[in-house]
């Protein structure tokens, strides 16, 4: 079943009716605005290389601490 008109899915399938074009326009506008807000606040995702070389990535895995089972179990 094809997506309804007025959706990006339908636009990406090749429909260029006014509703689908508007849906794509709205999406791109929101995407650009979010990107600009991220730049303005200085927020960004760390690069994969930075994540791999972070001190946390090099730390050994910790074993979870388990408390003993309550009386009557086990």
* pLDDT for the residue 20: 96
How many domains does the structure of the chain reveal?
A: 1
Residue 19: Cβ within 10 Å count: 13
Domain that holds residue 13: 1-43
> 23 near 8, Cβ under 8 Å?
yes
Ordered per-residue pLDDT tens for the chain, 74 residues: 678 999 999 999 999 999 999 999 999 999 999 999 888 887 666 677 766 766 665 555 666 666 666 666 65
Within a domain: 58:
no
Tens-place pLDDT, residues 11-25: 999 999 999 999 999
Within a domain: 11:
yes
Within a domain: 61:
no
Instruction: Tell me the average pLDDT of the chain.
Output: 81
CA distance 20 to 35: 23
């Amino acid at each position: 079943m094809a997506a309804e008109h007025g959706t990006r899915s339908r636009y990406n399938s090749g429909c260029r009716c006014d509703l689908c074009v508007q849906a794509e326009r709205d999406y791109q506008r929101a995407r650009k605005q979010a990107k600009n807000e991220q730049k303005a606040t200085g927020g960004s995702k760390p690069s994969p290389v930075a994540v791999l070389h972070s001190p946390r990535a090099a730390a050994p895995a910790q074993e979870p601490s388990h408390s003993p089972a309550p009386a009557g179990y086990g």
